[in-house]
Amino acid sequence: MDDMKPLHDAANKGAIPAAFRQKNWVKKLEAASGKPVKPRKSRGTVYLVVDCSGSMAEGNKIEQAKSGAIGFAREAQRRGYAVGLIYFASKAEHILEPQDECTRLHATVERISAMGSTNMTEAIQMAKDKFFDKAGEKVICIVTDGMPDDKKTTLAVTNEARIQGIEIMAIGTDDADKGFLDEMVTRKDLSLKVSRDQLERGIISMAKMLPEKND
């Protein structure tokens, strides 16, 4: 029996990826509960790609986007999706790997501020590249209040994403171009335009368009 113990232990450890077991929130939760935390199997991955250009500072659009991102993540995770976050202004930045829970998202979203131009092409390209090793459903949800720096390259990269089987969704404020949003998305029903004071609610509603997780 002693000879079998190392194999048995290795099998048990292999059931939970080492990288997951080393996450701070996992360690804290295990310490508090006294029980091992197991990763949930996600139906898929969705990247929320948020416009943080200077125009998003007008009114409370950027604050609406922040609150909407948190609500979006909660709803998407409830449906079985891991949620990652990319924001873009003059440059795009990948600020959060896909997560199955909201702990890190709250702190990450608070760092966002609005400035610069609208490099949407780089942001979508970044999200597309991040899906390279992901299984299951793959979705990009774009939040914007206007036109990108380069419409032609943005449409080219969204087309590449669709060819790779990535679903494209988009929500714009009242100053966005609905025709352009319709050109980006996989299907027109995945495009939404809302008034700027309804942006938070609109972003959350986009998550409700994601297919439910099959139990």
* Neighbouring residues of 5: CB distance < 8 A, sequence distance ≥ 6: none
* Domain spans, the chain: 2-33, 44-207
Cβ contact 81:43 at 8 Å: yes
Which fold, 44-207? Rossmann fold (3.40.50)
How many Cβ atoms from other residues are within 10 Å of residue 188's Cβ?
Answer: 10
Judged by average pLDDT, the poorest of 58-62, 83-87, 98-102, 126-130 is 98-102
Q: Which tokens is 127 given?
A: 């999200």
Res. 2: pLDDT tops 50: no
Strand partners, 44: 81, 137
Query: Residue 127 corresponds to which amino acid?
Result: A
The residue with greater pLDDT, 41 or 57, is 57
pLDDT confidence of residue 22 = 66
pLDDT confidence of residue 106 = 80
